[in-house]
Structure 1
């Protein structure tokens, strides 16, 4: 399979839509697929609607890290569970997902980075992680003939997987078990009756369901807003490059503040900027300015601001905010969000890799892509019921953390849908934190 998944990737999931289901899941990324996985295991009938391709957006465009290290402490219990699920997922699915526990290594370029790593160790210890601080000498042993980092932070139990392989294969296993999965099937609107969810209206017809999961990634806010639900979600463009096969310099994921790498199953490395994103300024940037002020004040040095394109993006100036359920929606106009990569940044990634590993030099790039990472003002997701619309559960705003934590979030979402206790404190992820006067808390994540 080529990567990432794009709009011209042939559709593989074309199941006929049922007239009714116990639950409809909107969005075929890792969160939606894993929610469907756990809902199905509980005997519920599930229909999953994806406007474009399964894993077509961030779920095939991310770095492929499965990490506990560096997360917001509120995410750690969920992530620890997610890692446990990942360990047995290939066997359950009946296919290799590329999952390997090869460790995640954060590299410090200066003493201030070491201080940050040391500060996060209190959370690692509190959750019993195998995270440890490395001296410069220990880093040099792990990365021989590499640039001189002053220290490191290593979680050896962290892992990697192949995003463009893992999520579609999980979906294939779901389809084989009778789950109705339909690509090229945008949900235009929720069907509301008596003030609560009664189903969805798709471009291919209606599905009756008294429970709906909105896991639409960067598009979630647009659909939610059409039903009066305020979700302060914005997106940033992130560029990624894939090298040709190279000798192994590190078997897992590693990053400093300038670039990140992850060993792939094909012998190449996935490279990405460590602290650089591009933000397109659209109408929602002004609408949600207040909740994002804390993030702006904290550190925007790694963000480049650009005017939003006239179309294509969820927050583009030309994106329609109102539409009829009986006509074409913005979700059909953009099947797969496939922004162009920043080519200058790709060249900087080559240079940074070559400087870090002078024995290998600048690597040849097999391909490059970009994705739109949906982010929330406090850089943690929304995982919650919508009180104003009984029957609707939202799981979105993963803020670049979704691939690894996806199985844990999917399990929790299944509990929320069934009104079971989720087993974790989800207060940090409640939707109401943006409307109840709570202070925006960026937390101590790295």
Structure 2
């Protein structure tokens, strides 16, 4: 079965001759950036090669969390929690957002201590969080068979519906004057005197003075065409959804074996808490050295495989003329097959861990490619060597919840406004200026 059923969005028919900013990519980062710009009176066009939200922005778990984030993301996520709280009213549409809390379980004393220490990252933010004992967890989530030491509970964390959010944001941006195009791949950028002057799309050229690349897993390929070396790889995550189920927990819950999140329709999104698949591809060798710290830190949760994806990506050209079809026009949507091995493990674990799921019916399963950076922290940054070019990508599986604030920060950088938070941690130059690339644990 193909990917999740995203709310339909129909793109505009005709390209404008000129705008102020072109946003490349119609996921939650691109649409949030377009909305912020349109609200500020900036003339913006968003170009998406496929459909709005059809790749990882609709394939993620739907968690809106500050808990267990990399500390460098915490200030931006604190702002995002504030934005999500009023987002439906701002859009005039439902995203399915609700604050139901998120629980990260701890299997032993070591994990309990790690989670407890992580909580100090929220000192000064007035964000409620607390450690639960095993009994307190059982009182909060009755019927669970999880054998744990305790858990980190953050009541202000929440959930939303990935299949609804990006289309809803795009619709509101269009109401405010943004041009939104689907099945309209951007083949490349044009410059004048070294600065951005326009983009070339498969439908024609749009003149502009700024471009935001929010292309998710495609961003490294696009950037490389213009001499920008952006280290980025992909990780495959398998997800399932159940039919409506009575008696399950309201909170989203993470454990090694399985992570669950209640859906607006009464069903649940379920996935492995730790297991992901990494396809070995040509870029794995190109960026292998940059990703060594991540491999040392995360290797237990990664299953490496060599298969057809290597040949698929080897055939993708890294250079193309702007008057010919680009690779983005031959792959409108990344729709990988879910891992059947992961799927089987997750089903077994959820039924053993939460007996209420014993008779749950799986309505659909899918997979998505998470785009990752060497330090698992996004790039939200100008590209210094091309004035007017900005990148907002590499969210490493953390992009859905942080998306609205990331869009606001990107708009700040584009317009020259005071940044929402200090963007230094997200600069592109950290991968080339000699900075030490660190994986900072989410604990």
- Give the 4+ runs in structure 1 shifted more than 6 A: none
Checking the alignment, whether the CA contact within 8 Å between 2:109 and 2:149 is kept in structure 1 is: yes
Residue 355 (str. 1) matches residue 352 (str. 2): yes
Deviations 1:104-152 (A, max 9, x none): 1101122222122112021122433211000001001011121132201
Q: Find the counterpart in structure 2 of residue 163 from structure 1.
A: 162
Checking the alignment, whether the CA contact within 8 Å between 1:109 and 1:149 is kept in structure 2 is: yes
Checking the alignment, whether the CA contact within 8 Å between 1:79 and 1:404 is kept in structure 2 is: yes
Checking the alignment, whether the CA contact within 8 Å between 2:275 and 2:342 is kept in structure 1 is: no
> What CA distance in whole angstroms lies between the structure 2 residues aligned with 1:252 and 1:198?
48
Deviations 1:141-199 (A, max 9, x none): 01112113220100000111111112111111222233110100000011122111111
> What CA distance in whole angstroms lies between the structure 2 residues aligned with 1:423 and 1:66?
19
Aligned to 2:35, the other structure's residue is in SS state helix
Checking the alignment, whether the CA contact within 8 Å between 1:23 and 1:47 is kept in structure 2 is: yes
Give how far 1:343 is off: 1.9
Q: Find the counterpart in structure 2 of residue 219 from structure 1.
A: 218
Higher alpha-carbon deviation: 132-141 or 318-327:
318-327
Q: Which runs of 5+ in 2 are unaligned?
A: none
Residue 403 (str. 1) matches residue 400 (str. 2): yes
Checking the alignment, whether the CA contact within 8 Å between 1:310 and 1:318 is kept in structure 2 is: no
Aligned to 1:414, the other structure's residue is in SS state helix
Give how far 1:385 is off: 0.4
Structure 1 segment 271-350 matched on structure 2, within 5 A: 271-307=270-306, 309-310=308-309, 316-350=313-347
Deviations 1:375-422 (A, max 9, x none): 001000001100011000100000011110011011111110012220
> What CA distance in whole angstroms lies between the structure 1 residues aligned with 2:279 and 2:73?
27
Checking the alignment, whether the CA contact within 8 Å between 1:353 and 1:363 is kept in structure 2 is: no
Higher alpha-carbon deviation: 71-80 or 244-253:
244-253
Q: Find the counterpart in structure 2 of residue 79 from structure 1.
A: 77
Aligned to 1:240, the other structure's residue is in SS state strand
Aligned to 2:218, the other structure's residue is in SS state helix
Give how far 1:73 is off: 1.3
Per the normalisation by structure 1, the TM-score is 0.96
> What CA distance in whole angstroms lies between the structure 1 residues aligned with 2:360 and 2:405?
35
Q: Find the counterpart in structure 1 of residue 238 from structure 2.
A: 239
> What CA distance in whole angstroms lies between the structure 2 residues aligned with 1:308 and 1:327?
29
Checking the alignment, whether the CA contact within 8 Å between 2:45 and 2:179 is kept in structure 1 is: yes
Q: Find the counterpart in structure 2 of residue 426 from structure 1.
A: 423
Checking the alignment, whether the CA contact within 8 Å between 1:23 and 1:45 is kept in structure 2 is: yes
Equivalent residues, number: 441
Checking the alignment, whether the CA contact within 8 Å between 1:351 and 1:362 is kept in structure 2 is: no
